[in-house]
Structure 1
Amino acid sequence: MSKIDITHAHALPAEAVRTAVEAMAAKLTEKYGVTANWVGDALSFNGSGVEGLIELLPGNVHVKAELGFPVSMMKGMVEEQIRNTLREKLG
Structure 2
Amino acid sequence: MPNVHIVQEHTLTPKKAREAAEKVAVKLAEEFEMEYAWDGDVLNFERSGVSGTLTLTRHKAEMLIKLGFLFGAFAPVIEAKASEKMKKIFSGAK
Q: TM-score, normalised by structure 1?
A: 0.93
Alignment correspondent of 1:69:
69
Contact 2:28 2:82 in 1 (8 A): no
Partner SS for 2:52? strand
Post-superposition Cα deviations, 1:28-58, rounded to whole Å, max 9, x if no partner, equal 2222221101000000001021100000011
CA RMSD in angstroms, aligned pairs only: 1.0
Partner SS for 2:12? coil
Identity among equivalent pairs (%): 27
Structure 2 gap segments, 5+ residues each: none
> 1:4 Cα deviation (Å)?
1.1
CA distance in 2, matches of 1:30, 1:83: 16
Alignment correspondent of 1:16:
16
Structure 1 gap segments, 5+ residues each: none
Partner SS for 1:58? coil
Partner SS for 2:11? coil
Q: TM-score, normalised by structure 2?
A: 0.90
> 1:5 Cα deviation (Å)?
1.4
CA distance in 2, matches of 1:55, 1:76: 21
> 1:10 Cα deviation (Å)?
0.6
